[in-house]
Amino acid sequence: MDYYELLGVSRDATGEEIKRAYRKLARQLHPDVNPDPATQERFKEVTAAYEVLSDPQKRQMYDLGGDPRAGAAGGAAGFGQGGFGFGDIMDAFFGGGGQQGPRSRVRRGQDALLNVELDLAEAAFGTVKDITVDTAVACPTCEGKGAAVGTEEVTCTMCHGRGQIQSVQRSFLGQVMTARACPQCRGYGTLIPHPCPECAGDGRVRTRRTVSVKIPAGVESGTRIRLSGEGEVGPGAGPAGDLYVEVVERPHPVFTRRGDDLHATLSLPMTAAALGATLQFSTLDDNVEIVVRPGTQPGSSQTIRGAGVTHLRGGGRGDMVVHIDVVTPTRLDPRQTALLQELAAIRGEENPSGEPEPQHAGMFRRLKDAFGGK
């Protein structure tokens, strides 16, 4: 990959020519202008080329056949081969460090994080949400340059475009030369004498826009969805950061979610629990029949397979667990009282002892009730 060819400049192009070529391409290829995936990939390549060729040291390394973006991973490389060069050792020893040469005004934008509230059904089956984003975009007046229309940047008179000021200090080792960012241009090497009145020289302005977010089925509170390149545009109309959308699931009035399973409580009159019943029950997306067997006890439950939340990864859905709550009447009229007293007499339960019974005894009693015994 030839960085000069990517930017469309000659190998002896000046820093200003490289900067102008990048700005022209950035306006054409920026994700806010052209969201095509192939174009976005070319924008990343052009930005990488500019980061190398706009830095004198990186450009020199590239011209000599090295790869200034390779890093030092993969072992102890030699000088000029992605490892530490002599200048790096001197910087580390004498406290220099930092970027050498003027720094670029074009930088990547920050990532952004927003919350989106979903109902249980939206989280279970997926949806599309439009969210409002307050973010930074390239300044339409100066097109990201930061300078007022009809004006240009000028070379800093203090550092003469180097972005750094060198000074000599005495130490126990003798005289040591150190470098620091130029205080006049703040390390950029250039000044903007007439900043753009709309963006105040930053190359970007704040605006409000709407972004459509596709929510996959099965998300839950805390799930984050990444939208590449939908964050803030960087200073100087640099590449945009990413937008992260975090899901917040609203409580449901009926169902409680535990993973991909849903739980609900069904209240039954004492008579329905004793005699049995067939009931209509509404899940998130369907109506089903629940058959309550005669003699159903409080705390029992029934499971409806596949009526829960869609699995986020993989097919299928969780289950719906319906818990039975048997309701004992609190107010009885005289006839209801007489009927229950008659039933108690028939079952021999007029004077219950109140003593706890062994576990096996309770099991035998339930079996006797199931088979109609007295």
Per residue of the chain (374 residues), what is the pLDDT tens digit?
688 888 888 888 888 888 888 888 877 877 666 677 777 788 888 888 888 888 888 887 777 666 676 543 333 333 333 333 334 333 434 344 445 668 888 999 999 999 999 999 999 999 999 999 999 999 999 999 999 999 999 999 999 999 988 877 665 556 667 788 898 998 999 999 999 999 999 999 999 999 999 999 999 999 999 999 999 999 999 999 999 999 999 999 999 999 999 999 999 999 999 999 999 999 999 999 999 999 999 999 999 999 999 999 878 999 999 999 999 988 899 999 999 889 889 988 887 776 666 655 555 555 455 445 44
Do 108 and 166 contact (CB within 8 A), yes or no?
no
Return phi, psi of residue 277, to 5°: -165, 160
Give dist(CA 368, CA 110) in Å, integer. Answer: 71
Domains observed in the chain: 1-68 (1.10.287.110), 105-153+192-250 (2.60.260.20), 252-328 (2.60.260.20), 339-374 (no CATH)
Which residue is it, tokens 């969210």? 131
Give dist(CA 100, CA 275) in Å, integer. Answer: 86
Do 118 and 248 contact (CB within 8 A), yes or no?
yes
Do 111 and 170 contact (CB within 8 A), yes or no?
no
Question: Could you tell me the sign of the dihedral formed by the alpha carbons of 70, 163, 24, 31, in that order?
Answer: positive
Ranges of H-type helices in 97-150: 120-125
Do 6 and 22 contact (CB within 8 A), yes or no?
no
Please tell me whether residue 94 adopts helix, strand or coil conformation: helix
